[in-house]
């Protein structure tokens, strides 16, 4: 699975990655190297992060569905037979 980024987003992330390496690790890389590193990180880490996000979204949606079910139960009227 390849994560497709808009060109402007890809460029901005590559610049941020290069800036991080410079500021935090005192490592300078060029723009093309930053793009290649971003591509590598996206390819290797992206699917794991994507899957975690899906699981989080699924759990959140399940909570909302459960709350909705509770709301319907609260709307029920007492019945007499």
3-state secondary structure labels for all residues of the chain: CCCCCCHHHHHHHHHHHHHHHHHHHCCCCCHHHHHHHHHHHHHHHHHHHHHHHHHHHHHHHHHHHHHHHHHHHHHCCCCCC
Whether 80 is in a domain gets the answer no
What is the number of domains present in the chain?
Answer: 1
Structural domain includes residue 1: no
Q: Which residues contact 29 (CB under 8 A, 6 or more apart)?
A: 18, 21, 37
pLDDT at res. 1: 66
Residues 23-72: tens digit of each pLDDT: 999 999 999 999 999 999 999 999 999 999 999 999 999 999 999 999 99
26 domain residue, yes or no: yes
pLDDT at 7 over 70: yes
Name the residue range of residue 63's domain.
7-75
Whether residue 76 has pLDDT greater than 80: yes
């Amino acid at each position: 699975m390849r994560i497709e980024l808009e060109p402007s987003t890809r460029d901005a992330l590559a610049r941020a990655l290069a800036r991080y390496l410079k500021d935090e690790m005192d490592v300078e890389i060029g723009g093309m190297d930053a793009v290649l590193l971003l591509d590598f990180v996206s390819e290797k880490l992206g699917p794991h992060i994507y899957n975690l996000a899906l699981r989080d979204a699924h759990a959140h949606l399940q909570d909302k569905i459960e709350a909705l079910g509770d709301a319907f139960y609260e709307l029920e009227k007492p019945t007499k037979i």
